[in-house]
């Protein structure tokens, strides 16, 4: 190649690198627009208490000494560890919670660019990254990261980049790093095992030559170490995942239909951005949905076309193989989601992003490379360029729907309402006046706990599980639960307004408990409204000090027996002593029954069945 040709190639490469960096910057700008909106979400803040050192057991499932290890039975504390220095330097806020994951997601875009540049060429890779940068299926799950999904995509991109790099230049440290990414991704969230299984099956079917060469290039000792590590990792994964699949059945979510058509619709809605918009706003009007299904269909046609043409060019064969590899991984992940009864949310289907787009790029480049005449290549550029432009324009349109909603439409799902900031401000000002701050329904506690001063957090309790089940208990057990939840003195109680509840029975059972326990003096302190809709209600509950013996109803039988026994005694003083002793025994007995029968083990923290796997 002449010097002028080398200069042109270098200019194109630098131009493409600049375009990729510009795409990452545009991604950051779009994802950070009015970053406080929507309001902080319950599961978005699952990691915050662990990141603050876990002074209490809110969202702490397992510790290793004082160090939080798992925040859920299936979510590790990796994200919390990353945020620990951030929260030590800066206060917890929407900015410090959301901006770091946006930056990580931007880095992920550049990793994808690096993964594609060698095989697709710098310009093709930059075009794909620009499509990804304005895709609402990438922007807003990354901005909010309630899944969580940001670290999942980061490790996904790193694994693909390392593997494509290994294919280009085999080096042993690359599979080692892939194995480490497997472990970190699984620790972040156990359903990363879907990607691990799909990736392993994919390389076995698409790249058997690379596996054989990798095996032969290793020494005997290295092979044994690798086999042992793989078996240990497999055993740990089975030990952790199988109990969840067999015994963990979330009660906080609706039963999911496992029909293939329902799962397919959920996938299409997620990849188009429709599902996340509906989840946040309660309405996804204006979001164009057909592009994701159309992209997958085009991938299928391109795959058939690649199979129909004999590929004489080595670069074309490699890109064809990469395209089939991405298609196969996406299909296997989808298949695992279909057969997993606990799966079905947008944050699950998000794992398939951006595999259909990558498959499109690799297969299209394979066909383009194979075309030998200039006219055919121009036709291919026209067709593939039009498809890419269509994807880009529709992604921009769908992203604009989100951004205009943030700017002009104040309607949000109650659990995403920005009014959570006003509620938090009020609680932080007045919470110290009460002995406890109680959340009756699911969807408020994590936000208030994260934004509260450290001393106030100790008074905050998330009691939605007992209130949800309160109506199913007999009167004696109900009284025991109510007496434990509301101590002597003043308590502040928070609930969603009528028709805004996550679980309607929590608010209903709370109000019923007030009417059946007249010793609890209550009144509505404040209502919190946003955009003309009442979102939250704040009640003040007061139990007078002289009402300390409020398990009388639970101890009625024992007290009556004591009265009958004392009636036969010789004096009034003896009668009073026996009544008091019997009442104390009954009170203690009722309290023990409450502890052993009525409460979950961790009543003051979130139940582990509140979120889908």
Which pLDDT tens digit goes with each residue over 220-264?
899 999 999 999 999 998 888 888 877 765 544 444 446 788 899
Which tokens in the block code for residue 314? 């080595």
Q: Which of 323, 325, 322, 343 is nearest to 334 (CA)?
A: 343
pLDDT at 547 over 60: no
Tell me which of 567 and 248 has the higher pLDDT.
248
Enumerate residues 6+ apart whose C-beta is below 8 A from 37: 406, 418
pLDDT given for residue 603 in this prediction: 39
Q: Are strands 436-439 and 489-496 parallel, antiparallel or unpaired?
A: parallel
The position carrying tokens 């408990």 is 513
Which tokens in the block code for residue 316? 């074309």
Residue 128, burial from CB neighbour count under 10 angstroms (0-12, 13-18, 19+): buried
> What are the start-end ranges of the E strands in 359-466?
436-439, 460-462
pLDDT at 470 over 50: yes
CA distance 586 to 552: 8
CA distance 493 to 435: 11
DSSP lists the bridge partners of residue 523 as: 540
CB 58 within 8 A of CB 449: yes
What backbone torsions phi and psi does residue 499 show, to the nearest 5 degrees?
A: 75, -5
DSSP lists the bridge partners of residue 195 as: none
Position 584 confidence tier, pLDDT thresholds 50, 70, 90: very low
pLDDT at 609 over 90: no
pLDDT given for residue 378 in this prediction: 85
Nearest-Å Rg of the Cα atoms of the chain is 29
Tell me which of 477 and 560 has the higher pLDDT.
477
pLDDT at 277 over 90: yes
Q: What digits encode the pLDDT tens for the residues 79-89?
A: 999 999 999 99
C-alpha to C-alpha distances, 548 to 340, 520, 544, 545, 596, nearest whole angstrom: 49, 11, 8, 6, 21
CA distance 43 to 146: 5
pLDDT at 594 over 80: no
CA distance 425 to 551: 35
Q: How many CB atoms sit inside 10 A of residue 519's CB?
A: 15
Which tokens in the block code for residue 75? 């979510």
Task: Tell me what the pLDDT averaged over the chain comes to.
Answer: 85
CB 147 within 8 A of CB 72: no
pLDDT given for residue 2 in this prediction: 66
pLDDT at 586 over 50: no
Q: How far is CA 435 from the centre of its chain?
A: 32
128-132, 137-141, 177-181, 596-600: the lowest-pLDDT one: 596-600
pLDDT given for residue 248 in this prediction: 62
pLDDT at 311 over 90: no
Q: Which of 149, 139, 145, 147 is nearest to 106 (CA)?
A: 139
pLDDT at 131 over 80: yes
CA distance 546 to 542: 12
89-103, 174-188, 259-273, 369-383: the lowest-pLDDT one: 369-383
- The helix or strand, by DSSP H or E, that contains position 139, with its residue range, turns out to be helix 136-144
Considering the chain, what percentage of its residues have pLDDT values greater than 90? Answer: 67
Question: Taking the alpha carbons of 568, 573, 578, 579 in that order, is the dihedral positive or negative?
Answer: positive
DSSP symbols for 244-257: HHHH---SSSPPPP
Enumerate residues 6+ apart whose C-beta is below 8 A from 215: 223
Q: Which of 238, 168, 228 is nearest to 196 (CA)?
A: 238
As a whole number, mean pLDDT of residues 393-422 equals 93
Which tokens in the block code for residue 466? 């007992």
C-alpha to C-alpha distances, 215 to 163, 182, 200, 588, nearest whole angstrom: 15, 19, 15, 67
Q: What angle do CA 268, 270, 276 make, to 5 degrees?
A: 145
Which tokens in the block code for residue 451? 């934004």
- The torsion angle over the Cα atoms of residues 195, 191, 146 and 23, rounded to 10 degrees, is -10
pLDDT given for residue 529 in this prediction: 95
As a whole number, mean pLDDT of residues 393-409 equals 93
pLDDT at 599 over 80: no
Residue 118, burial from CB neighbour count under 10 angstroms (0-12, 13-18, 19+): middle
pTM for the whole thing? Answer: 0.86
Which tokens in the block code for residue 69? 């290890």
pLDDT given for residue 493 in this prediction: 96
DSSP symbols for 496-530: EPTT--SSHHHHHHHHHHHHH-TTSEEEEEEEEEE
CB 432 within 8 A of CB 456: yes
pLDDT at 77 over 80: yes
CA distance 65 to 15: 51
Q: What digits encode the pLDDT tens for the residues 331-354?
A: 999 999 998 888 888 999 999 999
CA distance 594 to 485: 11
- The helix or strand, by DSSP H or E, that contains position 75, with its residue range, turns out to be strand 75-76
Tell me which of 374 and 21 has the higher pLDDT.
21
pLDDT given for residue 1 in this prediction: 57
195-209, 247-261, 551-565: the lowest-pLDDT one: 551-565
327-331, 424-428, 470-474: the lowest-pLDDT one: 470-474
CA distance 454 to 55: 9
Tell me which of 517 and 297 has the higher pLDDT.
297
**Spans of all domains in the chain:** 3-217+249-408, 419-598
């Amino acid at each position: 190649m002449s010097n002028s040709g080398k200069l042109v190639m270098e200019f194109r490469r630098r131009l493409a690198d600049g375009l990729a960096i510009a795409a990452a910057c545009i991604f950051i700008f779009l994802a950070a627009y009015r970053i406080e909106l929507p309001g902080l979400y319950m599961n978005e803040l699952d990691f915050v208490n662990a990141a603050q050192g876990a002074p209490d057991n809110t969202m702490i499932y397992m510790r290793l000494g004082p160090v939080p290890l798992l925040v859920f039975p299936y979510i590790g504390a990796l994200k919390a560890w990353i945020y620990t220095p951030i929260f030590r330097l800066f206060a917890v806020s929407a900015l410090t919670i959301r901006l770091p994951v946006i930056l990580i997601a931007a880095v992920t875009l550049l990793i994808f660019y690096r993964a594609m540049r060698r095989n697709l060429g710098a310009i093709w890779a930059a075009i794909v990254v620009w499509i990804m940068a304005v895709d609402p299926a990438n922007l807003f799950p990354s901005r909010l990261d309630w899944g969580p999904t940001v670290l999942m995509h980061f490790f996904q991109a790193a694994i693909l980049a390392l593997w494509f790099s290994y294919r280009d230049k085999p080096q042993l440290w690359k599979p080692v790093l892939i194995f480490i990414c497997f472990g970190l991704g699984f620790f972040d969230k156990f359903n990363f095992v879907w990607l691990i299984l799909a990736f392993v099956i994919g390389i076995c079917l698409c790249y058997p030559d690379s596996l054989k060469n990798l095996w032969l290039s290793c020494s005997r000792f290295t092979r044994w170490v690798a086999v042992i590590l793989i078996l240990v990792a497999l055993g740990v994964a089975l030990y952790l995942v199988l109990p969840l699949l067999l015994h963990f059945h979330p009660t906080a979510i609706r039963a999911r239909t496992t029909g293939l058509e329902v799962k397919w619709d959920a996938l299409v809605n997620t990849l188009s951005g429709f599902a996340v918009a509906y989840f946040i706003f309660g309405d996804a009007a204006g979001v164009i949905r057909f592009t994701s299904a159309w992209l997958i269909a085009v991938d299928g046609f391109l795959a058939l076309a690649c199979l129909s043409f004999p590929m004489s060019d080595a670069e074309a064969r490699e890109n064809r193989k990469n395209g089939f590899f991405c298609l196969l991984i996406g299909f296997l992940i989808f298949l695992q989601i279909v057969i997993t009864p606990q799966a079905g949310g947008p944050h699950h289907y998000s794992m398939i992003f951006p595999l259909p787009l990558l498959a499109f790029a690799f297969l299209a480049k394979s066909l383009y490379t194979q075309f030998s005449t200039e006219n055919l290549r121009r036709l291919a550029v026209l067709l593939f360029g039009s498809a890419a432009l269509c994807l880009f324009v529709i992604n921009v349109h769908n992203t604009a729907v989100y951004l205009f909603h943030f700017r002009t439409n104040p309607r949000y799902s109650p659990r995403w309402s920005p009014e959570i900031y006003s509620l938090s401000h009020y609680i932080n000002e007045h919470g110290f006046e009460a002995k406890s701050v109680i959340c009756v329904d699911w969807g408020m506690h994590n936000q208030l706990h994260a934004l509260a001063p450290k001393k106030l957090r100790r008074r905050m309790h998330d009691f939605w599980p007992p209130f949800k089940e309160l109506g199913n208990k007999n009167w004696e057990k109900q009284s025991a639960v109510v007496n434990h939840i509301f101590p002597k003195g003043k308590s502040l109680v928070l609930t969603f307004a009528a028709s805004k509840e996550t679980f309607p029975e929590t608010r209903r059972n709370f109000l019923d408990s007030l009417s059946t326990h007249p010793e609890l003096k209550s009144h509505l302190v404040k209502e919190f409204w946003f955009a003309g809709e009442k979102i939250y209600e704040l009640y003040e509950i007061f139990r007078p000090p002289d009402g300390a013996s409020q398990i009388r109803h639970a101890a009625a039988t024992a007290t009556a027996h004591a009265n009958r026994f004392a009636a036969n005694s010789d004096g009034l003083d003896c009668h009073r002593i026996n009544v008091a002793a019997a009442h104390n025994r009954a009170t203690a007995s009722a309290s023990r029954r409450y502890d052993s029968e009525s409460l979950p083990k961790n009543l003051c923290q979130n139940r582990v069945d509140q979120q889908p796997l």
